[in-house]
Amino acid sequence: MKRGTPIICQALKCMLNRTNAAINTNMHPPVPYYCRRAGSSLPRAPNALGPVQPTAIVDSQEVKFTDGPFYEKHFDSREYLKAFAVDPSTRHGFLPFVLRHLHNTFSTGDLKGKKLIGLGSGPSIYIIISARKCFEEIVLSDFTTGNRREIEKWLKNDEGSFDWHPIIKFVCELEGKSRSPEEVEQKLRKIVQFLKCDVTLENPFQPEMMEPVDCITSSLCLEAACKDLETYRRAVGSIAALLKPGGTLMLTGILNQSYYFVGKQRFDCLVLTQSMVEETVKGQGFSIKLVDIQPATEEEKAGCDGDPFFYLVAQKTE
């Protein structure tokens, strides 16, 4: 018994090393442990977007979450845009759902101001297309350098920048074609700038101090950036602090989602229910003006386990 112990220890040590290596690279550990958060389902079968890998854990306590630095290393902006920013007139799903809502919100005439922030906007501009009519300045922001480059390329209209034309055209059609897509692009390029942000910080634009703004939109970011509900609450609190009293927050995302894929890379999400989102927003000093949800399409469910989408508008109480 005693003589066998070193061999067992050696084997255990070797397995632990392999498990830790797997955790560091967010790959499958040698034994099939699955990370299951409250309300999450087991990963689906491999799909067109790549094989499904469970999140690695050491034991039932320790969970690695794909945080900002992980995004900096592994988030492929182009791969994401290719899969996500598809012509909304050709399919149902998240993008047309959000674009229609943003159009309705920004067309009422009630929302006007100096500055709007798109928080954790990634390499995307869709959240600000309708907003351009209501604000003098727009700040897009994200954690990663790759996303910043992608946006800056588009702002400079550089060769090889992502083609947002079909999505801008879709919004122009919602607006009754009062402006051409080219005019809208030109206007956006004049009023948009990009800043680095970390939504998990008390001041997401640290070290820069931003004057409170009139409006903040954030889509598909907080659930990707916040590892637990407490971090999510703090992030919504930091958003409230960035807004003027009476300012508006538009939050969109996918409920009940524990992961999504960009190509073959898996990213974790905080599993949120509608009541968790609403309670958090109310708890951080907002009154909710509108909430809508829509079931995810089968096609979209192939790359993630979330369903349904949500769109929420809230106002910071005075």
Ligand X SMILES: C[S@@+](CC[C@H](N)C(=O)[O-])C[C@H]1O[C@@H](n2cnc3c(N)ncnc32)[C@H](O)[C@@H]1O
> What is the nearest approach in angstroms of ligand X to the Cβ of residue 12?
35
**Distance between CA 35 and CA 58 in Å, rounded?**
10
Q: Are strands 192-196 and 135-142 parallel, antiparallel or unpaired?
A: parallel
Q: Verify binding: residue 265, ligand X, rule CB under 6 A.
A: no
Residues binding ligand X: what is the number (CB under 6 A)? Answer: 21
212: left (phi over 0), alpha (psi -120 to 50) or beta: beta
If the CB atoms of residues 55 and 200 are measured against ligand X, the closer one turns out to be 200
> What is the nearest approach in angstroms of ligand X to the Cβ of residue 216?
12
Residue written as token pair 């708890």 = 283
**Distance between CA 171 and CA 162 in Å, rounded?**
17
With helix as H, strand as E and coil as C, how does 55-90 read?
A: CCECCCCCECCCCHHHHHHHCCHHHHHHHHCCCHHH
Q: Verify binding: residue 300, ligand X, rule CB under 6 A.
A: no
Q: Verify binding: residue 167, ligand X, rule CB under 6 A.
A: no
Q: Verify binding: residue 306, ligand X, rule CB under 6 A.
A: no
**Alpha-carbon 112 to chain mean position:** 25
Q: Verify binding: residue 143, ligand X, rule CB under 6 A.
A: yes
DSSP 8-state symbol, 108: S
> What is the nearest approach in angstroms of ligand X to the Cβ of residue 99?
11
> What is the nearest approach in angstroms of ligand X to the Cβ of residue 80?
7
39 among annotated binding-site residues: no
Q: Verify binding: residue 96, ligand X, rule CB under 6 A.
A: no
Q: Are strands 243-254 and 213-219 parallel, antiparallel or unpaired?
A: parallel
Q: Name the residue number minimizing CB distance to ligand X.
A: 122
Which of 121, 257, 258, 294 binds ligand X (CB under 6 A)? It is 121
> What is the nearest approach in angstroms of ligand X to the Cβ of residue 260?
7
Alpha carbon dihedral 108, 119, 167, 182, in 10-degree steps, equals: 80
Q: Helix (H, G, I), strand (E, B), or coil: what is residue 278?
A: helix
126 among annotated binding-site residues: yes
307 among annotated binding-site residues: no
Q: Exposure string (b/e) for 285-311, b if CB count within 10 Å is 16 or more?
A: bbeeeeeeebebeeebeebbbbbebbb
39: left (phi over 0), alpha (psi -120 to 50) or beta: left
Which of 88, 122, 303, 306 binds ligand X (CB under 6 A)? It is 122
Q: Verify binding: residue 40, ligand X, rule CB under 6 A.
A: no
Kindly identify the residues of this chain, within the stretch 196-215, that bind ligand X according to CB under 6 A: 197-200
**Distance between CA 299 and CA 308 in Å, rounded?**
13
**Distance between CA 173 and CA 186 in Å, rounded?**
17
Kindly identify the residues of this chain, within the stretch 46-85, that bind ligand X according to CB under 6 A: 68, 71, 75, 84
> What is the nearest approach in angstroms of ligand X to the Cβ of residue 142?
5
Q: Verify binding: residue 232, ligand X, rule CB under 6 A.
A: no
Residue range at the interface with ligand X (CB under 6 A); choices 48-56, 137-145, 295-303, 307-315: 137-145
If the CB atoms of residues 172 and 221 are measured against ligand X, the closer one turns out to be 221
Q: Which residues sit at the interface with ligand X, rule CB under 6 A?
A: 68, 71, 75, 84, 120-122, 124, 142-144, 147, 197-200, 219-221, 224-225
Binding site feature residues for S-adenosyl-L-methionine: 80, 120-121, 126, 142, 147, 198-199
